[in-house]
Amino acid sequence: MKSKTTAKNIKKAKPVKKTKPVAKKPAAVKKAAPAKKITAVKKPVPAKTKLKKPVKKTAKTAIQKKTAAPQKRKAVSKSQKQSFKHLKYSLNQKIVYPLHGVGQIMSIEERVFLEKKILYYVIYLDVPDMTVMMPVTEAEERGIRAIVSKKEAQKALTVIAKDVQPISADWKMRYQMNLDLLKQGSVLDIAKVVRSLYNRSKIKELPILERKLFDNALKLLIDEIAYSLEKDKDQVETMIFKKMESE
């Protein structure tokens, strides 16, 4: 027999509490570290090197102390030393090298250059403290000459005491004229340059280039006259200025 269900027997079902859906906290998003700035790596710039002009291999150029010497060197034999006697300048002789001053021939050497035997004067220049090698065949062309005689030295001292001829007011023209005289290299030409520039300096101060030219010419004149007259350089300098002032 079926049991009767009554309202009493039926337990009221407890209402189910509605739970709010719990929102899940979003996972903490780690902040991305700021991207490192990538700097372009500069390629190292090679240091600029001055391009040297190719040096022509000729025997005509005087070889200075720091310049590469000819390829091979041979000792001078006794027979070769005898053959040097015909040369214009001899060992230990004092000479003048235009624009450089008084020098001395320290040796005469034969060297092989470009498979040719070439004879050189090895000249020591005292004031710039420099040694040059001058091919014997080129010495005259380069203006190499012997120290003047005492008579010529006295003549040069007379020249600097003479009246000065009118010269150009344009210093650039004067500079070129006097430079050409110095290149000629005679002691009388050097004396004319010294006299001309000294007198010009009493009228107006010389430009820098002319002042340097005067100093160089004066040094050349003092050196040669001192060697020629066998006097002290300071003594010769005093003589020169006395003569220029006495005009």
User: Which pLDDT score is estimated for 167?
Assistant: 75
Place of tokens 């039926």: 10
Structure tokens at 190: 């050097």
E strand or H helix that includes residue 17: none
Contact (CB, 8 A) for 78 and 103: no
For residue range 30-89, what is the model confidence (pLDDT) as tens digits? Answer: 555 555 554 454 555 555 445 455 444 455 445 454 443 444 444 455 555 556 777 889
pLDDT over 90, % of the chain = 41
Contact (CB, 8 A) for 122 and 109: yes
Smallest Cα–Cα separation from 229: which of 148, 128, 138, 142?
A: 148
Smallest Cα–Cα separation from 76: which of 125, 121, 126?
A: 121
Phi and psi for 95 in degrees, rounded to 5? -135, 170
Those residues whose C-beta lies under 8 Å from the C-beta of residue 163, and which sit 6 or more positions away, are 247
User: Which pLDDT score is estimated for 197?
Assistant: 92
User: Could you give the domains of the chain?
Assistant: 72-146 (2.40.10.170), 150-245 (1.20.58.1290)
pTM of the model as a whole: 0.64
